[in-house]
Structure 1
Amino acid sequence: MIARLRTQISDAWQYFLAPALAALLPWRLGYRWLRWLSRREGGAFDEPARAAVAVAPQHLELADTAAFAANVRLNCLLDVADLYLSLRRPRLGALPWHVQQVGQWPRDTNFVAASFHHGNGHWVFKSLARAGFNSTFISARWQRADYAGVPLRYWYGRLRGADIERLGGRPVVFRPRARAQLAQVLAERAVVVSLFDIPPRLAPRGQRPVRLLDRDVCFPDGALELARAAGLPVVPYWMEFDLASGVRRLVIGQPLDPADPATLQALADVLDRALRQTPSAWFFWPEWPRWLQDAPAALQQAAAPGDDE
């Protein structure tokens, strides 16, 4: 009972109170506050930090694993604080000065916006709204049963999902068997936001080979098939970080042809560069060992196009 109470207090602090305070302060002060918190162990974000420290040094050269762990906690705190920063701003309001957009979305067509579990994705929905697009996000379902013992994390996820729907102007679409809903989204000239770095455990069908971190792994091709069927491009976007200052850049890449066999690897190359620049921002380090293990079998079973998206 005491341990559970401590977990609830810690979650209330790290998912609600501390990041909300950062969002209320002038950003230079708020970011200093988050950096100070990230250097202290204890709490919900120690678990992803420990997992990342156990895995990442086997694939990337990290000079200081303690600093890397602190940066993992910092990226988690940033991700949570973004929700409260977003809630303070109207849907069509400007991005905050410390989230800078580089590049522009296509103006003459809608598209599939392609990114990864790297960085802070909340701002893409505001950016798309400001460019005149409604958008929807493909997500796994938030099941309350999955948060047994940590209910505040469930309610945080619900709040985040509600704000994504506010910014996107459309409901979130949940896997699996979401293809028909997503095709309708594209037919209505809205944008589908899809994260491509989904391991076989979470999207077993339609996995295709890619090279990432000098390893042979796989990405699912469901969102590419969706764009190809609609005759629409895929537009990559990613986040670049200056962890010293707290300034981030939402970078929009050039449209890609979903029918081109090289497109999936081109997306993997975007993630590869991002991982080498800011490895602490990848939320899927805990998945990476099993991903490597599962990839060969997933690729053997991928004769038919995937329908998990």
Structure 2
Amino acid sequence: MARGARLFIRLRQEFKDLLELVLFPGIAIFLPWPWCFRFYRYLSQYSWLYGERTAQALAAAQSIIPVEDPVRWCAAYRLIQLVDHGDLYLSLFRSDRWMRKYLELTGPGWPGNTPFLAITFHWGTGLWSLRHLRSQGMAAAFLSVRLDRNTFARRLVAYYYSRLRIREVERVGSAPVIYKGGSVPRLLEALRQGKSVVALIDVPPGEGNNCLPIPLFQRQAWWPSGLVRLAVSEGIPVVAFTVSLDHETGRRYLKVAGPLPARDQRQLMEALAGCFSEAIARDPPAWHFWWLVQGFFKQ
């Protein structure tokens, strides 16, 4: 491919990232949330928005579950993407007063007497969970893969957006991010310091990684088991949580389940899989990682 053509493709991708990660989501800074959410709903009707990723997500979902109305499903998926990206800018520029107005807690709430491991999924709009933890006087360290420039294949806008999001996670969690890869000592140290740890578990296990079978989509699937093994061996309390979006009003609902049974690894893993399955059944397009779903069935 000629150098000029490669440059054009790269610039087109950067412009697309600028629109989808910065300009459109960043409108949340300037508009009252009800107006902004109406604008997001309007934008979500256009198939070019998050087009390739939405098409991948739909195809993957259709291979697993029935999708009765693909057009509506895709609009809902795009809306979740917009709101989730917009949450970064809302978190940067809105106070806890905004959160109390638009986020509602369901379930028993966070355990209040001891640090815990809070496990969630790439589903819904989870950033406000860290703000809610902080508002309850709890610091939380987020467990994350390490981001570097090579991860983003020369996509500078996406790279700097992700770095900004990580910094915001550290700010609202009041604790440094713990990066995977030799993370167990740092995770245990955070718990000893009275901080909770927030982590996501719904990623396909990589080659050579420890994993456990789970029932998922009426099939046997596999999830990485490192967090579950650590929680059981160290006696760490575990909760699962999700933050869902009302597609009509833009309100968020933080649902906390637990403490989960953690006497053995399989029991805890199946409890987490049940929470995940319940979330998927409630709002299938809210899962960001549909395009990775086939990786759960490979072992």
Instruction: Give the alignment's TM-score, normalised by structure 2.
Output: 0.92
What is the CA-CA distance between 1:47 and the residue it aligns to? 2.1
Partner of 1:272: 277
Measured in 2, the distance between the counterparts of 1:169 and 1:229 equals: 27
1:38 matches 2:54: no
Aligned amino acid, residue 128 of structure 2: W
Moved more, 58-67 or 111-120: 58-67
Partner of 1:163: 168
Measured in 1, the distance between the counterparts of 2:294 and 2:21 equals: 27
1:238 matches 2:242: yes
Partner of 1:281: 286
Maintained 8 Å contact 1:82/1:122: yes
After the TM superposition, which residues 196-235 of structure 1 pair with which residues of structure 2 at under 5 Å, given as runs? 196-201=201-206, 204-235=208-239
Measured in 2, the distance between the counterparts of 1:9 and 1:198 equals: 29
- Pick the aligned partner of 1:151 from 156, 165, 168: 156
- Pick the aligned partner of 1:85 from 47, 69, 90: 90
Measured in 1, the distance between the counterparts of 2:196 and 2:124 equals: 20
Aligned amino acid, residue 98 of structure 1: Y
SS of the residue 1:76 aligns to: helix
**Which runs of no fewer than 5 residues in structure 2 stay unpaired?**
1-6
Measured in 2, the distance between the counterparts of 1:61 and 1:98 equals: 32
Maintained 8 Å contact 1:206/1:221: yes
- Pick the aligned partner of 1:10 from 9, 12, 16: 16
Measured in 2, the distance between the counterparts of 1:263 and 1:157 equals: 31
Corresponding pairs, count:
291
SS of the residue 2:242 aligns to: strand
1:253 matches 2:240: no
Runs of 4+ in 1 over 3 A off after TM superposition: none
Measured in 1, the distance between the counterparts of 2:34 and 2:171 equals: 27
1:190 matches 2:232: no
Aligned amino acid, residue 223 of structure 2: F
SS of the residue 2:253 aligns to: strand
Measured in 2, the distance between the counterparts of 1:49 and 1:183 equals: 38
Partner of 1:19: 25
Instruction: Give the alignment's TM-score, normalised by structure 1.
Output: 0.89
SS of the residue 1:100 aligns to: strand
Measured in 2, the distance between the counterparts of 1:94 and 1:248 equals: 12
**Which runs of no fewer than 5 residues in structure 1 stay unpaired?**
296-309
What is the CA-CA distance between 1:2 and the residue it aligns to? 2.8
Partner of 1:71: 76
Judged with a 3 Å threshold, the aligned counterparts in structure 2 of structure 1 residues 147 and 160 are, in CA distance, closer, same or farther, namely same
Judged with a 3 Å threshold, the aligned counterparts in structure 2 of structure 1 residues 23 and 100 are, in CA distance, closer, same or farther, namely farther
Root-mean-square deviation over aligned CA pairs? 1.7
Measured in 1, the distance between the counterparts of 2:98 and 2:13 equals: 36
Partner of 2:113: 108
Measured in 2, the distance between the counterparts of 1:113 and 1:263 equals: 13
Q: Which deviations, in whole Å up to 9, do the C-alpha atoms of 1:9-54 show, x marking residues without a partner?
A: 22112111111113431111101111111111224x2122111111
Judged with a 3 Å threshold, the aligned counterparts in structure 2 of structure 1 residues 247 and 93 are, in CA distance, closer, same or farther, namely closer
Measured in 2, the distance between the counterparts of 1:227 and 1:95 equals: 30
Measured in 2, the distance between the counterparts of 1:219 and 1:208 equals: 6
- Pick the aligned partner of 1:57 from 53, 62, 67: 62
Measured in 1, the distance between the counterparts of 2:240 and 2:41 equals: 29
Maintained 8 Å contact 2:141/2:198: yes
Aligned amino acid, residue 211 of structure 2: Q
Partner of 2:4: none
Partner of 1:299: none
Moved more, 151-160 or 211-220: 211-220
Measured in 1, the distance between the counterparts of 2:24 and 2:188 equals: 39
Moved more, 228-237 or 63-72: 228-237
SS of the residue 2:99 aligns to: coil
